[in-house]
Structure 1
Amino acid sequence: MALSKVSLALVGLLSLVDAFGPGARSIVHSTILQRSGQLNAEYDYVIVGGGTAGLTVADRLTESGQYSVLVLELGVFQNGSSVTTAGMGYLGLLDPAIQLQFPSVPQPELNGRVADVRVGVMLGGSSGMNGMQVHRGQKEDYDRWASYFPGNKSKWNWDNILPYFKKAWHFHPPNSDVAAENNITYDAQYWGTTSNIHASWPTEMWPFQKTELAAFREIPGVGSPPDSGAGLPGAFWYPASVDPNVWLRSFARPGHWDGIEAARSNYHTLTGHRVLKINFSNGKRATGVSFVSANTTSAANPLTVTARKEVILAAGTIHTPKILQASGVGPQALLQSASIPVVVDLPGVGANFQDHPFQVGPSIQLTNFPFFPDPNQFFFNNTFIAESQAEFDANRTGPLTIASGNAAAFLSMPVIAPTAFADIATRYEAQDAAAYLPPGTDNDVVRGYNAQKKALAKAMRSRGAAFYNFFVRGTSNEPGPILLHPLSRGTVTIDPTDPYFALPRVDYRALTNPADGDLLVEFTRFTRRVFATTSLSSYNPVELAPGANVTSPADIIAELRGRMVPSSFHPVGTAAMMPKNLGGVVDEELRVYGVKDLSVVDASVMPDLPGAYTQQTVYAIAEKAADLIKARA
């Protein structure tokens, strides 16, 4: 994008901020380069990826003025309504201009179906196209990460990542009338107020949401934490990533790029360019990257830039392993098949791939639904939208402040399957780990999965770890739950025939571990129980799929194979933070094993999924990463 167009886009956004009144502040932004010829020959840090993590780390590294930083981003500056709109947060997922969308490899256990792989491709990354939901999971998720490093449990446990959750967000309490009407509880001790990434609340909620939440709390063992950020399971309200000063989506670009306090000549950004590989000197030290224009299809004569201190990968769970592998860091056999010289044989690169499957339980329709409006009607009714737009324009209130929703149940296995959870955990723990991993999986990766298996079996037995998630949408038609800790593991690899330009091969390997099926049978049974035995039964629920007559475990799983979606667009794990002998790719300092001056700071470092959607956790990882990097500068 030409510099003049970027300037016009910023002027347009500045006008919006001025119009939106109190609390708005002028926009000053990083120096965006018009063309590669304006680059410095070298920077202290070169960051690959200008998304959620990359822009957060770049902001923190440049704020003192001590270090120079270049961010290289495949996408460009986008400021359309699908990016900025606070309400109707689903718009980003429908906009092909801001994402890369392509099919996974066919999934044999899903009847050969493929799944959509979607990656935010713009300045700001996936934080500019997500559903804006802000929840962080349970304490036990982060203590589990720390347990993979038994000699040093202090770096990534709950107590030590909580300060970064607080640093990452500027929390705004809900309006008192909204809190009272919906029984919203919050505790500001779990939040900060200094970040330019905002967590706030709509001016109203869908009226049925509080009814659904109350029904979940009728189930024995379902609690209501004092705050969504307290690290406890339960059924509760949580904020959205919306800036209430301007009622726009709050994401990495306005928060960490054009939301910085003063123009920084030490912070450069070049959009519209594809990083091909990391360059190494003396075989092992990362010295910079090779890259081309996003429109180029040849790796001949690439551009290069040098990093004096570190190359920092923030390209995301799908593209970070692709870049590592194309650079010679990854499984030796894969690299040799692509004729890529091996820098480090690191078998964990691209392994351990996980995402949150959804539509993993019954879809329910409430045939007696007296609440108005029904979100299902709202999003497809032009009259409702027009009336809501008029209210929003006049008062900054109404349904257009709701985003994607602000309530959910995050529940443990002892709560949803009180008579079955122990047996499921025991059978899962007794598995031969290698039996359900990809054929030929390296022994280190197998050992790593064994460590995860032990930890996740423990989590199944705990009331403090959530496996079941039901997004409380306040609508007459509920699509079913989400599995927070899938036990199957997939892969992300380069295409050996074209490692630089071909799309990566993404294989979710959904339902390849039979223990996932055991969990999903219990999800189905529990969801039926919620709608049949609580106050929700008065709304005449009808099961649309699989159908109330489908009751045997085999029949439930067979039906799910034709309907389950293996991705909620929360991919993690392909450059896992674990010991190297457990298939890890980065250490606790987020440094890549076997090389120097190369780190990874995005969702790919999560060894396993948190019991929540991943936005808030990625920001916290990036905030902590910035401190780790500065400490070793």
Structure 2
Amino acid sequence: MARLLSVLAAVVAVTGPVCLAYPQEVPASKVFLNGRQVGTEYDYIIVGGGTAGLTVANRLTEDGTTTVLVIEIGQLSNSAAITSIGKVVGGSSAVNAMMTVRPAAEDFDTWGSFFGPNSHWSWSGLLPYFKRALNFVPPDEAVTRSANITYDTSYWGSTSGVYAGWPSFQYPSTTAQMEAFRGIPGVPFVQDSGSGQPGVYWYPTFMDPKKVERSYARTGHHDQAATRPNYHLATGSKVRRILLDGTKAVGVAFVPASAERTAPESVVRARQEVILAAGGIHSPHILQLSGIGPRQLLTSAKIDTLVDLPGVGQNFQDHPMIQATFQYSRFNIRPNPNDLYSNATFRAWSEAAWAANRTGPNSIATGNAAAWLPFPVVSTRANEIAAALEAQNHADYLEPNTDPTVAAGYRAQMLAYAAALRSNGSAFYNLVLTGGPSNGILVNLHPLSRGTVNIDTSDPYNRPPRVDYRALSNPLDSVVMAELVRFTRKYHLENPLTRDWAATELSPGRNVQTDQQFADYFARTLNPSEFHPVGTCAMLPRELGGVVDEELRVYGVEGLRVVDASTMSTLVGGNTCQTVLRI
């Protein structure tokens, strides 16, 4: 206690008054709606009660003795009306599309390659953790046969509280759209989505198959840990910064989220470590507010630089979404999803099946079939575009005055992406199959452009971070995405297995043909985010602009780790939730 008070006295001298969380009798409930009810100190403090934070908290408290406090800005809620940013216990896993997609093996080998040939961040090194992260329940046998679903349980586990389940129904139209990819030579079909191989495949859903409800970090990890006296959760509380004693993380300062501008700060101490799990936007923001980040940025905000770490908040990536809409005028495969709206008899049957036993079409979340294809399958220009990427002066496509280490890391990533563009082992193209007579969204799985997430230097503690996607800042992104649209045209318009469906291209329209016309179209229409923010606390060597090492420890700080999507050095070719659970 004497050491704690000494540390806090130093903090007060630097930052002003705080409200201390003194020892007290612990209430019967372990979920505190008022953060000031928490104890004085814990073995571990986890900042963020989302996908990553709850998973780690569950693992750390399994022994019944290690004490853990999770601090979450949102509330404990079962409501479906949750904001898209996942400001709730369970985080983004509470609001995502429930697509249980595992990216390609090469994506993880790429992460390890930045550290050299002996890194344990590789497909073979990480597969056991993918298996531990989810409890796979095979689809119903009748649906498996009728939809021709294939899977291989050797890629999956059976012990997690988070389930990879399946709906009890699949539209025959979805199966037809999936099989239609066989009309394009060279398209691979994959037996199981968990194999690490790109191609066309069925994938499961984050769903408890018995309850037929969303399975996520709250149900799979918080609900387990909540029965343990060594697990505490403070909701409605915003962490303002990490407290350092020299270069050692010793605790956090936080305020009620409902009164963050006026309430005094509370402080709680970590005996072992502080673990950041606030996500791709807020983890770098908290580090910067704590004096850990680019010196020039912190100086301009009048924040003392305690650890000069140029990569914090840089290397920002997200999956951009492309409008490429096609509609069939003779799509007569029945039933299909449109029948829920146009066929009263089918809708009544669907609602009755759901009411009786939670089966039928209403058990489908967002579909379970998609194409995740390598670039050489999509484009004959793979070598040309890869060579152009290699030849770039990569620093030209970053913000002016970018730190040389961050620029070096960007160059290393682009050279890795050039190899991936030529490879059949990494997916660049994603088309989710709707089963309906129209489809309109493509996803660029490996964007080349990089953005930033930085404090607002005019009022860093009271204003949200400045998020700059810098979408299309690397002009080759437009060239790659043009090839994705051209391939989609081939699937809809030049494919013998889709010809009878009589597709019409609604966007971008047949008048968009050249690379420049596509670049102009994307500049007007591109959505830069699929809500997959990553990269801002990148796991890279420090000389490549890294923020954390291979054990996810923040460089230059003792007792501080980051464990969320912000640590991904390069964005994976798939939805991020399963990968974050594995991290």
TM-score of the alignment, normalized to the shorter chain, above 0.5: yes
496, 499, 521: which is aligned to 2:457? 496
- For residues 43 and 219 of structure 1, the distance between their equivalents in structure 2, rounded to whole angstroms, comes to 58
1:145 alignment partner AA: W
- Partner residue in 2 for 1:536: 498
2:461 alignment partner AA: Y
- Partner residue in 2 for 1:211: 176
- For residues 94 and 377 of structure 2, the distance between their equivalents in structure 1, rounded to whole angstroms, comes to 35
2:575 alignment partner AA: Y
- For residues 502 and 485 of structure 1, the distance between their equivalents in structure 2, rounded to whole angstroms, comes to 31
Alignment of 1:4-83 (within 5 A): 31-80=30-79, 82=80
- Partner residue in 2 for 1:415: 377
1:557-612 residue CA offsets vs partner (Å, 9 max, x unmatched):
21122111111111110000000000000000000001110000000000011111
Change in CA separation of 1:381 and 1:49 when aligned onto 2, cut-off 3 Å: farther
- Partner residue in 2 for 1:556: 518
C-alpha contact (below 8 Å) 2:58/2:224 kept by paired residues: no
- Partner residue in 1 for 2:195: 230
1:120-166 residue CA offsets vs partner (Å, 9 max, x unmatched):
1000001000000001111100000000001632x210001100100
Alignment of 1:373-412 (within 5 A): 373-376=335-338, 378=340, 387-412=349-374
Change in CA separation of 1:567 and 1:501 when aligned onto 2, cut-off 3 Å: same
- Partner residue in 1 for 2:16: none
C-alpha contact (below 8 Å) 2:292/2:305 kept by paired residues: yes
Moved over 3 A (4+): 371-374, 376-387
| 1:569 paired to 2:553 | no
506, 517, 537: which is aligned to 2:478? 517
- For residues 388 and 287 of structure 1, the distance between their equivalents in structure 2, rounded to whole angstroms, comes to 55
- Partner residue in 2 for 1:138: 104
C-alpha contact (below 8 Å) 1:32/1:269 kept by paired residues: yes
1:446 alignment partner AA: A
C-alpha contact (below 8 Å) 1:573/1:603 kept by paired residues: yes
Displacement after TM superposition at 1:374 (Å): 3.9
| Structure 2 SS opposite 1:557 | helix
C-alpha contact (below 8 Å) 1:276/1:299 kept by paired residues: no
- For residues 442 and 253 of structure 2, the distance between their equivalents in structure 1, rounded to whole angstroms, comes to 43
1:252-298 residue CA offsets vs partner (Å, 9 max, x unmatched):
001001134x72100000000100000001x2000000000011132
- Partner residue in 1 for 2:15: none
C-alpha contact (below 8 Å) 2:255/2:263 kept by paired residues: no
| Structure 1 SS opposite 2:561 | strand
- Partner residue in 1 for 2:11: none
2:222 alignment partner AA: W
512, 526, 535: which is aligned to 2:487? 526
| Structure 1 SS opposite 2:258 | coil
1:329 alignment partner AA: I
- Partner residue in 1 for 2:231: 267
Displacement after TM superposition at 1:203 (Å): 0.8
C-alpha contact (below 8 Å) 2:431/2:441 kept by paired residues: yes
- For residues 66 and 308 of structure 1, the distance between their equivalents in structure 2, rounded to whole angstroms, comes to 13
- Partner residue in 1 for 2:22: none
C-alpha contact (below 8 Å) 1:30/1:257 kept by paired residues: no
Alignment of 1:294-333 (within 5 A): 294-298=257-261, 301-333=264-296
2:370 alignment partner AA: A
Change in CA separation of 1:521 and 1:275 when aligned onto 2, cut-off 3 Å: same
- Partner residue in 1 for 2:132: 167
- Partner residue in 2 for 1:610: 572
- For residues 165 and 109 of structure 2, the distance between their equivalents in structure 1, rounded to whole angstroms, comes to 27
Change in CA separation of 1:381 and 1:620 when aligned onto 2, cut-off 3 Å: farther
C-alpha contact (below 8 Å) 2:34/2:256 kept by paired residues: no
- Partner residue in 1 for 2:123: 158
Alignment of 1:444-459 (within 5 A): 444-459=405-420
> Relative to structure 2, which stretch is displaced further, 550-559 or 342-351?
550-559
1:144 alignment partner AA: T
Alignment of 1:342-361 (within 5 A): 342-359=305-322
- For residues 492 and 383 of structure 1, the distance between their equivalents in structure 2, rounded to whole angstroms, comes to 51
442, 445, 449: which is aligned to 1:481? 442
C-alpha contact (below 8 Å) 1:45/1:310 kept by paired residues: yes
- For residues 482 and 563 of structure 1, the distance between their equivalents in structure 2, rounded to whole angstroms, comes to 13
- For residues 390 and 178 of structure 1, the distance between their equivalents in structure 2, rounded to whole angstroms, comes to 19
Displacement after TM superposition at 1:386 (Å): 6.1
- For residues 70 and 29 of structure 2, the distance between their equivalents in structure 1, rounded to whole angstroms, comes to 10
282, 289, 300: which is aligned to 2:252? 289
- Partner residue in 2 for 1:17: none
- Partner residue in 1 for 2:6: none
- Partner residue in 1 for 2:85: 119
C-alpha contact (below 8 Å) 1:30/1:263 kept by paired residues: no
| 1:128 paired to 2:94 | yes
- For residues 579 and 201 of structure 2, the distance between their equivalents in structure 1, rounded to whole angstroms, comes to 18
Unaligned runs of 5+ in 2: 1-27
- Partner residue in 2 for 1:198: 163
2:436 alignment partner AA: T
C-alpha contact (below 8 Å) 2:173/2:335 kept by paired residues: no
C-alpha contact (below 8 Å) 1:368/1:540 kept by paired residues: yes
- Give TM-score scaled by structure 2 length: 0.92
- For residues 277 and 377 of structure 1, the distance between their equivalents in structure 2, rounded to whole angstroms, comes to 52
| Structure 2 SS opposite 1:339 | coil
190, 204, 218: which is aligned to 1:239? 204
| Structure 1 SS opposite 2:409 | helix
| Structure 1 SS opposite 2:286 | helix
| Structure 2 SS opposite 1:616 | helix
Identity over the aligned pairs, expressed in percent? 50
| Structure 2 SS opposite 1:70 | strand
C-alpha contact (below 8 Å) 1:591/1:598 kept by paired residues: yes
C-alpha contact (below 8 Å) 1:299/1:500 kept by paired residues: no
Change in CA separation of 1:128 and 1:359 when aligned onto 2, cut-off 3 Å: same
| 1:279 paired to 2:278 | no
Displacement after TM superposition at 1:397 (Å): 0.7
| 1:188 paired to 2:150 | no
- For residues 510 and 113 of structure 2, the distance between their equivalents in structure 1, rounded to whole angstroms, comes to 41
- Partner residue in 1 for 2:10: none
- For residues 336 and 53 of structure 1, the distance between their equivalents in structure 2, rounded to whole angstroms, comes to 31
How many residues align structurally?
A: 555
Displacement after TM superposition at 1:380 (Å): 9.4
2:473 alignment partner AA: T
Unaligned runs of 5+ in 1: 1-28, 83-94, 100-117, 622-633
Displacement after TM superposition at 1:214 (Å): 0.9
- For residues 380 and 600 of structure 1, the distance between their equivalents in structure 2, rounded to whole angstroms, comes to 49
Displacement after TM superposition at 1:337 (Å): 1.2
Displacement after TM superposition at 1:387 (Å): 4.8
1:332 alignment partner AA: R
| 1:428 paired to 2:411 | no
| Structure 2 SS opposite 1:426 | helix
- Partner residue in 2 for 1:340: 303
1:215 alignment partner AA: A
- For residues 289 and 538 of structure 1, the distance between their equivalents in structure 2, rounded to whole angstroms, comes to 62
- For residues 131 and 29 of structure 2, the distance between their equivalents in structure 1, rounded to whole angstroms, comes to 24
Displacement after TM superposition at 1:390 (Å): 2.7
- For residues 301 and 38 of structure 1, the distance between their equivalents in structure 2, rounded to whole angstroms, comes to 14
- For residues 533 and 616 of structure 1, the distance between their equivalents in structure 2, rounded to whole angstroms, comes to 35
Displacement after TM superposition at 1:462 (Å): 0.3
Displacement after TM superposition at 1:379 (Å): 6.9
1:481 alignment partner AA: L
Displacement after TM superposition at 1:247 (Å): 0.9
- Give TM-score scaled by structure 1 length: 0.85
